[in-house]
Structure 1
Amino acid sequence: MPGIPLQVVIVGGGLGGLCAAQGLRAAGIDVIVYERDPSLDHRPQGYRIHLDSRGAGALRECVPARLYELFTATSGQPSRRVTIVDERLRELHAVEFDGVTADGDPASFSASVDRMTLRRILLAGLEDVVRFGAEFTRYEPEGRRVRAWFADGTSAGCDLLVGADGAGSRVRRQMLPHARIKDMGTRCVYGKTPLTDAVAELLPPRLAEGFMSVRAGRLGLALGLMRPREDPARAAARLWPGLDPHWRGDYVMWSLAVPAALLPGSDAELSFHGAGHLHRFVAERVTGWHPALVRLIEAADVDQTSYVPIRSSVPVAPWEPSAVTVLGDAIHAMSPAQGSGANCALLDAALLCRTISAAIASGGPLTAAIGEYERRMTEYGFAAVRASEQAASSFGGGPLGRILKWVGRLSP
């Protein structure tokens, strides 16, 4: 393959797809990203996420040094404690830990990040190769190459097609029609409360030290403070002038995990009724809880309320590698119970870039490189799926599963 330009098409402009595009471009490989949404912030896609050494290491491997520095500068302080309380804010369990950082060392990185800020960082420098409003429909093999088709009738030929299009991946459905994604029977309603002075006075002091989970029967409310180490706009001006991180101030992310049967309608009905309907549902669920929690939900930015059905991939046996592959939720969607989804997607992106680059350097066949990537990716990806399922089921699907690895078995 030396001297032969390689063309890669990525379907999906989420964290994994953009990270892969950064890494491929850095390796001198032609890449184009096709994203179905008309813009980066077209719809709510979550707020505060946790990245660890897997995600940080992948980012440092794929993005320019200044973008990696911008990522660490805009991350939150590392968590020092995980606290579990009841609905009256009485502490039930806690664990303290150290040895993690939010500085530039990916080996010990562990911190919260704002998903939209990170996505804009990953888009930096790729503006000319990301096509928004491009809905992928199918692909067709063309000898050793493949052609991707889109809803507007246009197409793009490439040497490698990468499906980074999430749990509902159309690439995966065509490539692995037998691969299934199961509904875990749980829904997470996400919300965002701006951190005003009045809201700051409501917060339990322990929340400043790290993740907090509220246990209330079959419900679980996760709370996470998002306060960057450096103002994202100022950090961007210093490290990547012209980048707008779209930062609108510190906030508390909250997520109510609830059995689907308790929600006021089907998934289609909830989508139709919108954010206000979801916010009212959460406000009603916390009635009678500690007044600080009630007011925290009342003070939320209602329009930012959204929900996500919790789904999990069913692991599949190895398949024959080809000029089409997948990464992230497109192949190993998982419960958020252990905070591995975004980390695994970024890990996939770095592994894919590294494997392809090695094949180009050695002159080896692309298909063999893709096979090696898929072997390693499915090994750790499906292991993370199983671990996340176990953590979620251990606590009824609530957010408490996320801290399984820290606190072990919880008493009732």
Structure 2
Amino acid sequence: MSLRVLISGGGIAGPAIAFWLTRLGHSCTIVERFPSLRTSGQQIDLREDGVKVTERMGILDELRKYVVDEQGLEFVDSSGKQKALFPKIVDAETGQQGFTTEYEMMRGDLCKTLYDAVKEETNYRFGVSVKDFENTGDGVIVKFSDGSEDRYDLLIGADGQGSRVRRMMLGAGGDAHNQVGVHKLGVHVAYFGLAREPQDPNLATIYHAPGRRFLNTRWHNETHGQCYLATMSGASDLDQALTGDVDQQKKAFGQHFRDAGWQAERLVKAMEESDDFYAQPIIQIKSDTWSKGRVVLLGDSAYCPSPLTGMGTSLALIGAYVLAGEISKHKGDLDAALKAYDQTLRPLVTHVQKLPPGMPGLYYPKSKLGVKLLHTVLGLVTVLKLDKIVQFLMYDTSEKWKLPSYAAWDSELDEEIHSEEKIAATA
């Protein structure tokens, strides 16, 4: 039985679930509140089962074309002297990954790849969002921002950490970052693009400044990169600034970082001139409820793990695979499918959201002495060649969750493998 599915959000999780559901013969519509496909955003990475999912989708080879040549992560002092270096880990045998993975890419390239993979079978409606909805037992009636209304068998909220669908589903209004299940980690961060200069290394670079601040640059091509300004101080001022316009936000971050040292003057100036500035508090979404009736949450809207885990993109892709897989497994019983989606995926989400002891606080020293101590520890790790061990602990896979198999996908994969074998034999 074909389902009519509405997906709120055209970023990563939205088209990923549309990819799988359309292969099952379901009809999918994606509404995206922006007037066109959003291809902006910062550098992301794929990890562990997220890589496997893109391989099963058949898009991994395409994504390899967009991999950013970042050779690792360095920490520097105010003079730019390297204090520690964590090279990129590429270990196919163990699957170990570190701060920099072999699948670093720009968010926009992944978004465009997913869009190209589903645009022929999926109906896109740009400039439209879900205004309200009503569960009716066997479906959901959705009211849109353009005044239209329609009925669907399932509404999927894939609209990010500030999810409007989540707030409506849980009956919560107000600020998206002050809701039940939203856990603030005490960090505020600003993102923006940055012109590259000849001296900029082919590394991600982090400089820690006293006052619980750090400045981070990384480069995705020969001419451009990104900057992140992150802090655990001045929370009330930054929270207030985030309620204002972009100019107010830039002013607040500029005041906070202008005296930080290292390349602060260059980076603050670039921030003030940027046209892609974005700022937010770093949060995790820890909700006991991922679905109600015929409404279900997916990706960051349900279980945002925060950028500190490096798993946000991968979780969105894995979640889409599992949700569609459970719908295929429980044909004709959406209630059972949504329950199984929760039961199957939640152990992975719970594990991924566990931050190392002391994080993020230990990563934001208050004083010059604290910064020096952090650099000393990181330097010893480098000198003693313990960098792989530290990165393994940061991205511990000892409690390994196994990506489930679904007959609907396995049969297609078998057919593709047999087809490729026949072609090879004929050649």
Q: TM-score range by the shorter chain?
A: 0.7 to 0.9
SS at match of 2:328: helix
Asked if the contact 1:313–1:385 (Cα under 8 Å) also holds between the matched residues in 2, the reply is no
1:68 is aligned to 60
Match among 208, 213, 226 for residue 220 of structure 2 = 226
SS class of match (1:303): coil
State the distance in 2 between where 1:388 and 1:273 align. 35
Cα 1:59/1:390, change in 2 over 3 Å:
farther
1:307 alignment partner in structure 2 = 279
Aligned position for 2:18: 21
What is the identity, as a one-letter code, of the residue corresponding to 2:258? Answer: E
Which AA in structure 1 matches 2:207?
V
Q: Is the 8 A contact 2:13 2:317 kept in 1?
A: yes
Larger radius of gyration between Structure 1 and Structure 2: 2
Quickly say closer, same or farther: Cα 1:397–1:111, change in 2 above 3 A: farther
Q: Is the 8 A contact 1:335 1:392 kept in 2?
A: no
What amino acid sits opposite 2:153 in the alignment? D
Q: TM-score, normalised by structure 1?
A: 0.75
For 1:160, give the aligned amino acid.
L
How far does residue 181 in structure 1 lie from its aligned partner after superposition?
A: 1.0
SS of corresponding position for 1:75: coil
Paired with 1:397 and 1:333, the residues of 2 have a C-alpha distance of 26
1:279–1:302 CA contact under 8 A, matched in 2: no
Give CA-to-partner distance per residue, 1:134-183, whole Å, 9 cap, x none.
Answer: 12122212231112221222123222111111122222223334842133
Note closer, same or farther for the CA distance 1:39–1:285 as it changes in structure 2 (3 Å cut): farther
Q: Which residue of 1 aligns with 2:247?
A: 273
Given the alignment, which residue of 57, 60, 65 partners 2:52? 57
Structure 2 residue identity aligned to 1:186: V
Structure-2 change in CA distance of 1:396 and 1:299 (3 Å): closer
From the superposition, tell whether residues 192 and 107 of structure 1 become closer, same or farther in structure 2 (CA, over 3 Å). Answer: same
Tell me, yes or no, if the aligned pair for 2:193 and 2:277 is still in contact at 8 Å.
Answer: yes
SS at match of 1:32: strand
Q: Is residue 355 from structure 1 mapped to residue 326 from structure 2 by the alignment? A: yes
* Percent identity for Structure 1 against Structure 2: 24
In structure 2, which of residues 314, 321, 324 is the aligned counterpart of residue 343 of structure 1? 314
Query: Structure 1 pair 298/119, CA: closer, same or farther in 2 (3 Å)?
Result: same
Deviation at residue 280 of structure 1 after TM alignment: 4.5
1:240 alignment counterpart: none
Over 3 Å counting, the alpha-carbon distance change for 1:319 and 1:339 in structure 2 is closer
Map of 2:206 onto structure 1: 213
CA deviation after TM superposition for structure 1 residue 46, in Å: 2.6
Q: CA deviation at 1:311?
A: 1.8
1:31 is displaced (CA, Å) by 0.7
Provide the rounded CA distance (Å) in 1 between the counterparts of 2:124 and 2:239: 36
Opposite residue 383 of structure 1, the aligned amino acid is H
Check the 8 A contact 1:270/1:278 in 2, yes or no: no
Deviation at 1:372, TM superposition (A): 0.7
Distance 2:96 2:343 in 1: 24
Output the TM-score relative to the length of structure 2. Answer: 0.73
Superposed CA deviations along residues 209-248 of structure 1, whole A, max 9, x for unmatched, are x433221121112222213xxxxxxxxxxxxxxxxxxxxx
Count of aligned pairs: 357
Question: Equivalents in 1 of 2:290, 2:13: separation in Å?
Answer: 22
Matched residue, 1:242: none
Q: Give the superposition deviation at 1:98.
A: 3.3
Which residue of 2 is the match for residue 85 of structure 1? 76
Measured after TM superposition, the shift of residue 125 of structure 1 is 4.6
Q: Are the counterparts in 1 of residues 238 and 249 from structure 2 also a CA contact under 8 Å?
A: no
Distance 2:218 2:300 in 1: 23
The 3 A distance-change label for structure 1 pair 110 and 375 is farther
Q: Any stretches of 5+ residues in structure 1 without a counterpart?
A: 228-248
C-alpha change, 1:376 and 1:396, in structure 2 (3 Å) is: farther
**1:380 aligned onto 2:352:** no
| Cα distance change, pair 372–250 in 1 and its aligned pair in 2 (3 A) | farther
Q: Give the match's secondary structure for 2:217.
A: strand
Contact 1:75 1:111 in 2 (8 A): yes
Q: Is the contact made by 2:241 and 2:249 (CA closer than 8 Å) also made in structure 1?
A: no
SS in 2 for 1:347: helix
Q: How does 1:11-410 map to 2 (within 5 A)?
A: 11-41=8-38, 46-62=41-57, 65=58, 67-77=59-69, 79-96=70-87, 98-100=89-91, 110-127=102-119, 129-177=123-171, 179-195=180-196, 199=197, 201-203=198-200, 205=201, 208=202, 210-217=203-210, 218-227=212-221, 250-259=223-232, 261=234, 266-268=240-242, 270-273=244-247, 277=251, 280-281=254-255, 284-286=258-260, 288-289=261-262, 294-295=265-266, 298=269, 302-316=274-288, 322-360=293-331, 365-387=333-355, 391-396=359-364, 406=391
- The whole-number CA distance in structure 1 between the counterparts of 2:126 and 2:169 is 23
Deviation (angstroms), 1:365: 1.8
Change in Cα spacing, 1:319 to 1:303, as seen in structure 2 (3 Å) is closer
RMSD over aligned CA atoms reads: 3.3
Return the alpha-carbon distance in structure 1 between the equivalents of residues 71 and 242 of structure 2: 39
Q: How big is the shift at 1:8?
A: 1.3
Aligned equivalents of 1:397 and 1:340: distance in 2? 25
The letter for the 1-side match of 2:304 is A
Distance in 1 (CA, whole Å) between partners of 2:126 and 2:315 is: 24
Decide whether aligned partners of structure 1 residues 17 and 391 sit closer, same or farther in structure 2, where only a CA change above 3 A counts. farther
Tell whether the 8 Å contact from 1:270 to 1:277 is kept in structure 2 after alignment: no
In structure 2, the CA distance between the partners of 1:380 and 1:125, relative to structure 1 (3 Å rule), is closer
Per the TM alignment, residue 17 of structure 1 is displaced from its structure 2 partner at its CA by 0.9
